[in-house]
A = this chain, B = another copy of it.
Amino acid sequence: MGALHAGHETLIKTARAECDVVTVSVFVNPLQFGPSEDYSRYPRTWPQDLTICDRNGVELVFAPPVEEVYPTPQLITVDVGRLAEHLCGKFRPGHFRGVATVVLKLLNITRPARAYFGEKDIQQLVIIRRMVSDLNLPIRIVGVPTVRESDGLALSSRNKYLNAEERRAAPALYRALHDAASRIRAGEHDVSKIRAGALTLLAQSSLIRVEYIEVVDPDELQPLESIVGPVRIAAAVWIGTTRLIDNISAEPN
């Protein structure tokens, strides 16, 4: 969706190292925003996006106008089923339908051999992996680890929305996930105790309102009650009017 930052640049550099031709799509997709969400104020930084693509040797930037992607009403959409029942999908009805639909369109238009997505949007990554597999697309989806600020905050185009005080509070999200992962590595199996620990950390800032924090299986993102293998811990919080998400993998030792 543009507003490229060092996280996106890592996607580009990874693709550049592995592929002959690199294409970047820049498209703020109206179909994935709810009516009360930030479609119109979502940051657009087109000249800077082009500079980042240029300096990384991107061959093609595909930045179509909305009317080219949706010339007529989009009657056909991708239903992602139970993959959207939890985490962000629960709080953003229709969001992952919109994401999956536009990604399928963009993949069909650009026809890549590989496509690179950040792990920061873990539910999106899992859904796109499953879409490619369930719909038999001859594409390899590559997940790229989240890029973080030195204090742990995951890079996101929406970090621009934070004022100075909110920015200082924001790293608590990563600290809470990190705390949960440490408890799991230390042998804690009970998800309710792991969540309680993370929520206590987040409650220390009065600026933070927790939307969800869940421990889920990494393939279908269904909530777990006790931990026996690899998991994803994912959370969304509001800081003022800004919604931030983050996630981390963990596994019992």
A-side interface residues toward B, CB under 8 Å?
72, 74-83, 97, 100-101, 104-105, 108-109, 127, 130-131, 133-138, 220
Contacts and interface: CB of A to CB of B under 8 A. Distances in A.
B104 A135 contact: yes
Q: Which 9 A-B pairs have the closest CB atoms?
A: A76-B134, A79-B79, A108-B136, A75-B81, A76-B131, A105-B136, A77-B79, A109-B136, A108-B137
Contacts of A220: 75
Given A108-B138, A109-B136, A136-B109, A78 B80 contact: no
Can you tell how many copies of this chain the complex includes?
2
Contact of A76 (B75, B76, B108, B135): B135
14 contacts: A75-B80, A75-B81, A75-B82, A75-B83, A75-B134, A75-B220, A76-B134, A76-B135, A79-B97, A101-B135, A105-B134, A108-B135, A108-B136, A109-B136
B79 A130 contact: no
Contacts of A81: 75-77
Contacts of A101: 135
A20 to B, nearest CB: 21
Contacts of A83: 75-76
A134 B74 contact: yes
A224 B72 CA distance: 21
Contacts of A131: 76
Nearest to A138: B108
Residue among A81, A136, A220 having the largest count of chain B Cβ atoms under 10 Å: A136
Nearest to A106: B136
Contacts of A108: 135-138
A75 B135 contact: no
Contacts of A127: 76
A119 to B, nearest CB: 20
Contact of A130 (B76, B100, B133): B76
A193 to B, nearest CB: 30
